[in-house]
Amino acid sequence: MVLYPKNFEEKVGFDKVREKIKAHCMSDMGREKTDQIRFSTSPGFIRRLVEQVDEFKDILEMEENFPLEHCSPMRESLEKIRTEGRYLEVEEVHRLRRNQSTIRNILSFLKNKNGEGKYPGLYQLSKKVAFYPYIPDRIDQILTNKGEIKDTASPELKRLRREIAEKESGISSRITRIFKDLKQQGMVEEDSSLAIREGRSVIPIDSRLKRKVPGVIQDESGSGKTVYIEPNEIVEINNQLKELRYEVRREIIKILTQLADDLRPYLDEMIQAMDFLATVDLIRAKALFAREINAEKPAMVKHPHIRWYRAMHPLLYLNLKKENRQVVPLDIALDNKDQRILVISGPNAGGKSVCLTTTGLIQYMFQCGLLVPVKQESELGIFKKLFINIGDDQSIENDLSTYSSHLLNMKNFIKHAGEQSLMLIDEFGAGTEPVLGGAIAEAILDRLNHNRVMGLITTHYSNLKHFASSTQGIENGAMLFDTDNMSPLYQLTIGEPGSSFAFEIAKKIGLPGDVLQDASSKVGKEHINYDKNLKDIIRDKRYWEKKRQSIRDKEKKTGKNAQRLWPGALVGQKNEEGSQTAG
């Protein structure tokens, strides 16, 4: 497996896709799993991942709810209790119990649905999970539904808490009586009330009268005008109460330590179950992202192959959707015979680079186990190596210009790319003197074609268009341009090269006519005629395509009208032509 360059993900935009999947995760465990998404070349592994996401997408669309309620990270906590004598804190036990409940509900859901023949991929995933009812049952013996230690967790805890309740009741009645007496003596203001400081019940007294109330000053107000006194007859009981609370804490630790001892034999299974929860969270996030970008599960073939219908760049789709605009979908086909390499030409800002990154991103997403935004009847193959050359990779540190960096990439492409490879090259040959750059680019393209590499190349060079039209395995493609409105259509058509429409764009911008005339004479009549012929072909192709579409629309409308007026007519016609009908 080869990805070139090292920042391939950033080049095609998968780093942003990863972040969007993370945003759909419920838990930190799911987000950690998202960071672990990797490009795969195993057809079986890819198929399994894609089918799991497709099944979960069906769950989101067809089921009322899926029981993924709690998904808390627990690995570190569980690893902690491998050491004898260590224990889980009460809050950790509560999280473990909620996770166990979620796991049980998910396993039950998938088992029941498998009985209906649904979600086989997710069910197979769940069969690897060992779930022991003893674990939640054991936790239920000591924990309430609110996550608190039960009084009945041990006889000693029950005794201690009963004694605490009795002493608290005694303290409450005594201090209430003292407080009432002090009010009657005018030592306490009528509108004041009892307070708690450091867990002790205290009485607010005017600081000038503090010597008249026997007790311990536990606090004072910010102004110093009020002190909070714990009466002497309450102090001893509060001390006893404090010691009882220490005893409760020691008893709870004893209970938790015993629980850890009881759970320790199941640690590996519990950690595996936590990993299952994280995986389900990731699959759910992938499915939510798939719905967001209208992604589908295409047909998969095990060899390098591309036959895509209405493919869309997922990030561009989401960005334009915010502006109530639509992406122009892409139809593209590459095979290992006559159409191995597609040379795409056309005007600047016409969508050539988007076409390139769409191809790279969709292929990478699929081999990472994601659904992709193409029509379901599309076919995606498996590539073992992906190469991309796009953007400015000049390096000050290595003293490389843009063109030198481009040539360095081409050297690596030639050396490492073969018939299991997909290459994507933007502005092929650009960055140096056109004649020499075009010649070098043609030689490189010839070698890559000889190596049976598959891929897309964008260019403005005429010699590459000529070379593509006369070379087995290489095909021309063009990004269409509306010559009437002088604007790009962002549509890819395969079979003919595209014009750069340089003179038309310059004229629209307002470059002086005599300058354009002078430029036309310099470039030569032969080149002008070639570019004009390209534009004529594109214009005619668009004209006839519109005509064909108009005819298809009229035939469709005529058929609907005929069916509405004479419902039996079309059926009878089909029967006469030998088509099969029910009965």
* 285 and 236, same domain (yes or no): no
Q: Answer yes or no: is 570 within a domain.
A: no
| Confidence at residue 576, expressed as pLDDT on a 0 to 100 scale | 40
CATH number at residue 495: 3.40.50.300
| Confidence at residue 570, expressed as pLDDT on a 0 to 100 scale | 47
| Confidence at residue 46, expressed as pLDDT on a 0 to 100 scale | 97
Please check whether residue 352 is in contact with residue 477, taking contact to mean a CB–CB distance below 8 angstroms.
no
| Confidence at residue 555, expressed as pLDDT on a 0 to 100 scale | 74
Q: Answer yes or no: is 111 within a domain.
A: yes
* 327 and 442, same domain (yes or no): yes
* 34 and 139, same domain (yes or no): yes
pLDDT tens for the chain, 583 residues: list them: 899 999 999 999 999 999 999 999 999 999 999 999 999 999 999 999 999 999 999 999 999 889 999 999 999 999 999 999 999 999 999 999 999 999 999 999 999 998 888 999 999 999 999 999 999 999 999 999 999 999 999 999 999 999 999 988 888 888 888 888 888 787 878 778 888 887 778 888 888 888 888 888 888 888 888 888 888 888 888 888 889 999 999 999 999 999 999 999 999 999 999 999 999 999 999 999 999 999 999 999 999 999 999 999 999 999 999 999 999 999 999 988 889 999 998 877 778 899 999 999 999 999 999 999 999 999 999 999 999 998 766 544 444 567 788 888 899 999 999 999 999 999 887 777 778 888 999 999 999 999 999 999 998 888 898 898 889 999 999 888 776 666 677 888 888 876 655 555 566 666 777 776 776 665 655 554 555 555 555 555 555 666 776 777 777 777 666 666 665 554 444 444 443 434 3
The burial of 225, by beta-carbon neighbours within 10 Å (0-12 exposed, 13-18 middle, 19 or more buried), is given as exposed
* 391 and 492, same domain (yes or no): yes
| Confidence at residue 303, expressed as pLDDT on a 0 to 100 scale | 94
* 306 and 397, same domain (yes or no): yes
* 399 and 384, same domain (yes or no): yes
DSSP per-residue string spanning 488-553:
EEEEEEESS-----HHHHHHHHT--HHHHHHHHHHH-HHHHHHHHHHHHHHHHHHHHHHHHHHHHH
Q: Answer yes or no: is 21 within a domain.
A: yes
| Confidence at residue 532, expressed as pLDDT on a 0 to 100 scale | 52
CATH number at residue 57: 1.10.1420.10
* 82 and 28, same domain (yes or no): yes
Q: Name residue 536's beta-bridge partners.
A: none
* 238 and 367, same domain (yes or no): no
Q: Name residue 260's beta-bridge partners.
A: none
Q: Answer yes or no: is 506 within a domain.
A: no
* 355 and 286, same domain (yes or no): no
Q: Answer yes or no: is 3 within a domain.
A: no
Q: Answer yes or no: is 130 within a domain.
A: yes
* Residue 513, CB-side half-sphere exposure with 13 Å CA sphere: 0
The burial of 552, by beta-carbon neighbours within 10 Å (0-12 exposed, 13-18 middle, 19 or more buried), is given as exposed
| Confidence at residue 573, expressed as pLDDT on a 0 to 100 scale | 46
pTM tops 0.85, yes or no = no
Residue 455 parent element (H or E): strand 454-458
Q: Answer yes or no: is 115 within a domain.
A: yes
Q: Give me the amino acid identity at 287.
A: A
* 314 and 401, same domain (yes or no): yes
* 192 and 233, same domain (yes or no): yes
* DSSP structural state of residue 381: -
**φ, ψ for residue 427, nearest 5 deg:** 50, 55
Neighbours of 34 (CB within 10 A): 22
Number of domains, the chain: 4
| Confidence at residue 101, expressed as pLDDT on a 0 to 100 scale | 96
Q: Give me the amino acid identity at 237.
A: I
* 24 and 44, same domain (yes or no): yes
Q: Answer yes or no: is 1 within a domain.
A: no
The burial of 486, by beta-carbon neighbours within 10 Å (0-12 exposed, 13-18 middle, 19 or more buried), is given as middle
Domain range for residue 521? 511-564
